[in-house]
Amino acid sequence: MRERLLSLKDEALQELEQVQSAAELNELRIKYLGKKGPLTEIMRGMGGLSAEERPVIGQVANEVRGAIEAAVQARQDAFDRAETERRLQQEKIDVTLPGRVSKQGGIHPLYRIVQKMEDIFLGMGYKVAEGPEMEQDYYNFEALNLPKNHPARDMQDSFYVTEDILMRTHTSPVQVRTMEAMKGEVPVKIICPGRVYRRDNDDATHSHVFTQVEGLVVGPNIRFSDLKGTLLQFAKEMFGPQTQIRMRPSFFPFTEPSAEVDVTCASCGGDGCRICKHTGWIEILGSGMVHPRVLQMAGYDPNEVSGFAFGIGVERIAMKKYGIDDIRHFYVNDLRFLRQFAKY
Ligand code: DAH
């Protein structure tokens, strides 16, 4: 039995020399050390040995097993090292190679202006509100004191989806939605940036889709002077501290009184140039004191509270600020145009 064990060891070690791969090594391990292997079989047969022989043979068997195990393990370690080495070679990277430059996106020039406006108004304690671009006739017109067949609806030619639903023609419906949601609470102090749609033939100064920033403040004793001060502050932060504003009487059904607001031309500082058509002023927004009927329809008592509102045209501001002469550039999304703003 001793001889059998020793020759088994020699056989296993010899065979081990021939092993080429980790898979073959595993086969060999099973063959010699596995439950059905010869070593196990011999150890099982030890029951038939005499009491003197048993420990002697047992020791030999353990030694043989230990030797085969150690040799297999050593071979396994060698395979593992070789595999690690192979992977290190394969995954080697040349850190001196020039990197691949990934293209970086930039913020759209219109949205840059919107962000700046948000910053300015957030600084004055406003919150940013949102509303749907596809809007109900009620919010877009009726609740803003523009009943059906009101002639002022012609000021804003609309894309109707159904008889009662249209693409909003301005961001003013968000005034109504906000007041309704506030359920009579004061103060209301929001701006709402967003896209608006009108049936216009697109040309250098008209686009059927454009961007506005609406503003609304409602509270006790809100006055026209508050509106003026707010807009002056906005203009100075937007265009520079030397900027002045001018308010011209105007008409909007949802404000009374109403005013259009111009800022001094940033290009010529008010002296008159091509950009401001030699007037020194550039119109940027419509505004006014919220009409009592608008407050009332949205659940506020015009005897208790008052408010002001404004709607700023974003494209105009972006065009002046960046010297863009065609509004369509903002919506065509030609990368050659957009790329120029990526680094601003
Ligand atoms: N909604 C108006 C427009 O698109 C702009 C406007 C005027 C908004 C006066 C206002 C406002 O909130 O008070 O022409």
**Ligand 1 neighbourhood includes 300 CB (under 6 angstroms):** no
Print the domain residue range for 296: 109-341
Residue 65 and residue 154 in one domain: no
Provide the number of structural domains found in the chain.
Answer: 2
| pLDDT at residue 155 tops 80 | no
Say how many Å lie between the CA of residue 6 and the centre of ligand 1: 102
30 Cβ contact partners less than 8 Å away, ≥ 6 residues apart: 37
Which residues, in sequence order, are bridge partners of residue 288? 258, 309
Say how many Å lie between the CA of residue 233 and the centre of ligand 1: 19
pTM over 0.85: no
Residue 187 and residue 79 in one domain: no
Residue 129 and residue 247 in one domain: yes
* pLDDT, mean of residues 116-145: 98
Q: What b/e string do you get for 245-271 counting C-beta neighbours within 10 Å, with b at 16 or more?
A: bebeeeebbbbeebbbbbbbbbbeebe
Which ligand 1 atom minimizes the distance to the CA of 254?
13
* Structure confidence by residue, pLDDT tens digits, 13-65: 898 889 898 888 888 888 888 888 888 888 888 888 888 888 888 888 888 88
Task: Give the closest residue (by CA) to ligand 1 atom 8.
Answer: 311
Which of 146, 310, 314, when mutated, tests ligand 1's pocket best, judged by the most ligand atoms within 8 Å of its CB? 310
Which residues, in sequence order, are bridge partners of residue 117? none
Residue 104 lies in a domain: no
* pLDDT, mean of residues 106-119: 95
| pLDDT at residue 300 tops 90 | yes
Residue 119 and residue 61 in one domain: no
Read off φ and ψ for residue 130, nearest 5 degrees. Answer: -135, 160
Burial class (CB in 10 A: 0-12, 13-18, 19+), 67: middle
Residue 190 and residue 234 in one domain: yes
Helix 22-33 to helix 2-18 angle (10° resolution) is 170
The whole-number pLDDT of residue 344 equals 52
Residue 167 and residue 214 in one domain: yes
Say how many Å lie between the CA of residue 253 and the centre of ligand 1: 9
| pLDDT at residue 277 tops 60 | yes
pLDDT confidence bin for 188, thresholds 50/70/90: very high
Residue 212 and residue 243 in one domain: yes
Residue 125 and residue 242 in one domain: yes
Q: How many residues does the structure list for the chain?
A: 344
Residue 121 and residue 213 in one domain: yes
CATH of the domain at 190: 3.30.930.10
Rounded CA separation 188/178 (Å): 8
Residue 97 lies in a domain: no
